[in-house]
Amino acid sequence: MVERKKWSENFSEWFNDVIEEAGILDKRYPVKGMNVWLPYGLKIMRNIERFIHEEMERTGHQEVLFPALIPETEFKKEAEHIAGFEGEVFWITHAGHDELDVKLILRPTSETAIYPMFSKDRGGWIRSHADLPFKIYQIVNVYRYETKHTRPLIRVREISRFFEAHTAHVDFEDAERQIKEDLEIFDNLMKKLAIAYIISKRPEWDKFPGAYYSLGAEVVMPDGRTLQIGTMHHYKDNFARAYNIIYEKEDGTHAYVHQTTFGMSERLLAAVIAIHGDDRGMVLPPTIAPIQVVIVPIPKKGEEEKVYSYAREIEEELRTAGIRVHLDLRDKRPGWKFYDWELKGVPVRIEVGPRDAENRTVVIARRDKLEKITISREELVDKVRGLFDDIMNYLAERSRKWLESHIKRVDTLEEAKKAFEDRRGVVEIPWCGSEECGLKMEEELEAKMLGTPYPNPEAPEGKKCPVCGREAKFIARFARTY
Amino acid sequence: MVERKKWSENFSEWFNDVIEEAGILDKRYPVKGMNVWLPYGLKIMRNIERFIHEEMERTGHQEVLFPALIPETEFKKEAEHIAGFEGEVFWITHAGHDELDVKLILRPTSETAIYPMFSKDRGGWIRSHADLPFKIYQIVNVYRYETKHTRPLIRVREISRFFEAHTAHVDFEDAERQIKEDLEIFDNLMKKLAIAYIISKRPEWDKFPGAYYSLGAEVVMPDGRTLQIGTMHHYKDNFARAYNIIYEKEDGTHAYVHQTTFGMSERLLAAVIAIHGDDRGMVLPPTIAPIQVVIVPIPKKGEEEKVYSYAREIEEELRTAGIRVHLDLRDKRPGWKFYDWELKGVPVRIEVGPRDAENRTVVIARRDKLEKITISREELVDKVRGLFDDIMNYLAERSRKWLESHIKRVDTLEEAKKAFEDRRGVVEIPWCGSEECGLKMEEELEAKMLGTPYPNPEAPEGKKCPVCGREAKFIARFARTY
């Protein structure tokens, strides 16, 4: 085997290697920034999406599916939106042997596909206050012609698993309530993934094109750069005005709806792989692991059948208990199998040899802490379930500590620069609130302003903006980002 | 309410109306041949796909996900394939502000996306006999620039739910075994949908582009036209030669793989809607109905709470029994609700009034036969489960009879013409086997040759080809097709 790069030393190469070796994606597809999902990776992603579907169901969002192609004419209706995206859309200009009358774009996001259907103009979905709030979502492929360096799961030209929820509301305040619900949904999901994150309100110059304001959720990756893994946008009535989405109020008058969106993608999987990983490969939370327990028989010459029959008995019991279990009967050495399943991040490994079969014991190894214990056969299911909880708690706690130790609050640009040289992560700096000073800091620090802490912006007392020296009104977060 | 066209009189308009009124698709999306999936329609389709996923799991197919874009260079490697598809692909020529060096197509099907990854040339997935048989599948959106009249679910420019299985084998015979497995999978699925079908081996001139032979599965629609709802293709080593997909045999020599594909789509849902439908709307098999039982309370002034609490009790019991149940508490008249749920095809309706609450009885209406029975509260779950079986059997039997009564065997073109004027459906004619006579019959009958019955071609004894008068070697099936 080729020596894999270490998570702890060269995260970027580790990530690229693990994604391919663990069977997440195949990166050899002959279009830049587009990858093939392999069965194991797809299974993990589907398990993540299962929780998304459950949360959507719980909160009354309905699933829909829109076409991936949008006519140029619809795409160009909201001025800021088109300005923000036109540099990165793929254009369909011909079909068969014809040149198209109206060019089509491949959706980079679906506002301009969906909102014409909301509008009364097309006899659409939203007519009266009784239709509101209107909440839909879809998980689809979207396309962005990234000119930056592409990176699997993180910066791609085809986002295969793009989640987008779109909602419409009677007024600004009801849309605000939706943003709060989105944050709650996101938090529930992050608990399932055992991932700690921060939410920031983006500065004006970095809002989603067309948004009134934008929130972003970030994690700190092993190399100290941040990764945006979720966004929530309040559109106010910006799109409603462009697409004429009006409703009839109870008093018979009409008003524009206020809208929000909530977005996530396979970056969730990137965060799981990166944050929980170690030098041996992935460490999957049991909640989303396609295989939660793998059984590796360690047979001894002449005692094979005893071991295999004991292994099958254990497999059957775990399966009956609803645990996703796999018995590895490949014709390979146990050490090779350990290495393989550790790489693939299976949370719990069970080893069974002849002595275990005789003594009715089971050796259990947990992937996160790389510890082994021996238990008696009778306590199997309870112990395994308990171990799942322990692993979730351990991963969540480790992730929380990692995040907290990578947020540093400073007063000056010098301290900020030092922080970026040192541990990196997120650096918080007092800020007067002006775009000029914000951009100046971005430039000086070679970092991006993530925005201000949300929902509590924490106005700092007695602090000065390090650029202009005026009184600071905000704490601004900066990071080197993916 | 606008009077809906009748299933029995004007199927084509009935189909268009029901699809929209029952909440399957919204056809107002502003790109020709592309529709929006509505929540109810998507739920039915997902239930159909659940059975597909189960069958794939049972037969050892692994799920993957390929990019939707294919470079022109890869697309053009298999000569027949490109000839067959180039008239109907969408071309991406620009991205952002750039003209692309290599144009991209939107996949019309994924052979040319997938097979480069199989090939050793790219360090691909198939290297040795130990990798074979290799079986993968995906359910994805594909694109075809249809120039014919488009029709929702049936002939569209975006097929949103395209199922395609791709397999590779050591030799021709092993690929033959795969085709047999595909037929078994298809038959299992059709049992879940209660749909009767026929399989035909396509004539040479109507094979899938690049195939050695093609099989098609057809149903007869209410207007007597046939709809192809599944295909299985044996590629022999045609694509393997174009994409250099070779494997090392046990003896160390190398050989090309033999390949097959198996395809289905949302036409499955079209068939369900069309074949089981009636003048009131859809009739869904309980296997795939998002709501299997709807409870409509029929309250009486002053006795509301008694009725609602009895309805909730019934809802709870059915839900606990694992039945997909919905209690309709909308502020509408019962008659309006009956109409709505009949349109949506909910297999079983339960009506509860004050007298039912008092007598502990339940009125059950079945959607397929439009019959009502009164049962006692205690037998509820058993009766409902029994009714599901009865409905499945009734739908399957009705579908079988419909199909059989629409297959007519004749000896002459005159009889064939008469059959098409009369009931239509499938007409079987003795055929010498020559392309010339086959095409001549297609022209005369203004029909398509579906092919010969598969797997038993039924060589007719003592029959003559009605075109050339030579001895008939085959029975050829003709139909007016969708």
All domains in chain B, ordered by first residue: 11-276 (3.30.930.10), 293-387 (3.40.50.800), 407-479 (3.30.110.30)
Q: Tell me what pLDDT residue B3 has.
A: 66
| pLDDT tens per residue, range B100-115 | 999 999 999 999 999 9
Cα–Cα distance list, B162 to B90, B143, B153, B154 (Å): 17, 10, 11, 12
Scanning A29-58 for CB atoms below 8 A from B yields 29-31, 34-39, 42-43
Band (pLDDT 50/70/90 cuts) for residue A266 is: very high
Nearest 5°: the CA angle A306, A311, A312 is 100
Higher per-residue confidence, A80 vs A426 = A426
Beta-bridged to residue A297, according to DSSP, are A352
Q: Tell me what pLDDT residue A115 has.
A: 95
Q: Tell me what pLDDT residue B1 has.
A: 45
Interface contact B90-A92, CB threshold 8 A: yes
> What sign for the dihedral angle of Cα B243, B249, B251, B255?
negative
Nearest 5°: the CA angle B477, B478, B481 is 130
Average confidence (pLDDT) over A47-73: 97
CA distance to partner chain B, nearest, from residue A118 (Å): 11
Give the DSSP H or E segment for A271: helix A267-276
Q: Are B170 and B129 in contact (CB under 8 A)?
A: yes
Residues of chain B positioned with their CB less than 8 A from the CB of A104: 31, 90
CA distance to partner chain B, nearest, from residue A324 (Å): 15
Confidence check: pLDDT of A122 > 80: no
Cα distance between residue B212 and residue B235, in whole Å = 5
Band (pLDDT 50/70/90 cuts) for residue B2 is: low
Q: Tell me what pLDDT residue B138 has.
A: 98
Average confidence (pLDDT) over A13-33: 95
Average confidence (pLDDT) over A87-101: 95
Cα distance between residue A466 and residue A437, in whole Å = 9
Cα distance between residue B201 and residue B207, in whole Å = 9
Q: Are B471 and B465 in contact (CB under 8 A)?
A: yes
User: HSE of A413 in the Cβ direction (CA atoms, 13 Å)?
Assistant: 17
Secondary-structure percent of chain B, ordered helix, strand, coil, rounded to 5: 40, 30, 35
Q: Are B461 and B182 in contact (CB under 8 A)?
A: no
Report the helix count and the strand count for chain B, using DSSP H and E.
14, 23
Q: Are B397 and B378 in contact (CB under 8 A)?
A: no
Cα–Cα distance list, B340 to B294, B304, B330, B343, B388 (Å): 11, 22, 12, 5, 20
Cα distance between residue B295 and residue B356, in whole Å = 13
Q: Tell me what pLDDT residue A148 has.
A: 87
Interface contact A67-B96, CB threshold 8 A: no
Scanning B182-241 for CB atoms below 8 A from A yields none
Nearest chain B residue to A86 by CA distance is: B96
Residues of chain A positioned with their CB less than 8 A from the CB of B43: 63
Instruction: Provide ipTM, 2 decimals.
Output: 0.95
Cα–Cα distance list, A177 to A168, A181, A258, A358 (Å): 11, 6, 11, 60
Q: Which two tokens stand for residue A172?
A: 């600004």
Cα dihedral B138, B144, B149, B150, rounded to 10, equals 40
Q: Are A141 and A68 in contact (CB under 8 A)?
A: yes
CA-wise closest residue to A283 among A193, A396, A367, A348: A367
Beta-bridged to residue B135, according to DSSP, are B167
Nearest chain B residue to A98 by CA distance is: B87
| pLDDT tens per residue, range B319-363 | 999 999 999 999 999 999 999 999 999 999 999 999 999 999 999
Interface contact B65-A36, CB threshold 8 A: yes
Say what percent of chain B tops pLDDT 70: 99
Confidence check: pLDDT of A6 > 90: no
| pLDDT tens per residue, range B75-84 | 988 888 888 8
Cα distance between residue B67 and residue A31, in whole Å = 9
Q: Are A104 and A69 in contact (CB under 8 A)?
A: yes
Average pLDDT of chain B, as a whole number: 95
Average confidence (pLDDT) over B36-48: 98
Nearest 5°: the CA angle A152, B243, B166 is 70
Place of tokens 């059948």: A305
Confidence check: pLDDT of A2 > 70: no
CA-wise closest residue to A476 among A431, A435, A432, A441: A431
Least confident of A102-111, B266-275, B415-424: B415-424
- Say whether residue A63 is in contact with chain B using an 8 A CB cutoff: yes
| pLDDT tens per residue, range B154-191 | 999 999 999 999 999 999 999 999 999 999 999 999 99
What residue type is assigned to position B251 of the chain?
D
Q: Considering CB atoms only, which of A65, A90, A95 is closest to B95?
A: A90
Q: Which two tokens stand for residue A147?
A: 């000119």
For residue A393, the tally of other CB atoms under 10 A from its CB is: 12
Cα–Cα distance list, B347 to B274, B287, B293, B314 (Å): 15, 10, 7, 17
CA-wise closest residue to B108 among B156, B52, B154, B171: B156
Q: Considering CB atoms only, which of B73, B96, B147 is closest to A145?
A: B96
Average confidence (pLDDT) over B227-249: 96
Interface contact B96-A87, CB threshold 8 A: yes
| pLDDT tens per residue, range B259-282 | 999 999 999 999 999 999 999 999
Cis upstream peptide for A297 (omega within 30°): no
What residue type is assigned to position B264 of the chain?
M
Q: Are B426 and B407 in contact (CB under 8 A)?
A: yes
Q: Tell me what pLDDT residue B81 has.
A: 83
Give me the DSSP letters along A181-202.
Answer: HHHHHHHHHHHHHT---EEEEP
For residue A322, the tally of other CB atoms under 10 A from its CB is: 10
Secondary-structure percent of chain A, ordered helix, strand, coil, rounded to 5: 40, 30, 35
| pLDDT tens per residue, range A355-405 | 999 999 999 999 999 999 999 999 999 999 999 999 999 999 999 999 999
Q: Considering CB atoms only, which of B42, B67, B117 is closest to A65?
A: B42
Confidence check: pLDDT of B428 > 80: yes
**Three-state secondary structure readout of B407-446:** EEECCCHHHHHHHHHCCCCEEEEEECCCHHHHHHHHHHHC
- Residues 6+ positions from B296 with CB-CB distance below 8 Å: B328, B334, B337, B338, B341, B349, B350, B351, B352
Cα distance between residue A226 and residue A207, in whole Å = 17
Cα dihedral B66, B71, B76, B77, rounded to 10, equals -60
CA-wise closest residue to B268 among B178, B398, B347, B159: B159
Band (pLDDT 50/70/90 cuts) for residue A218 is: very high
What residue type is assigned to position A191 of the chain?
K
Nearest chain B residue to A125 by CA distance is: B26
Q: Are A268 and A240 in contact (CB under 8 A)?
A: no
Confidence check: pLDDT of A1 > 60: no
Beta-bridged to residue B99, according to DSSP, are B94
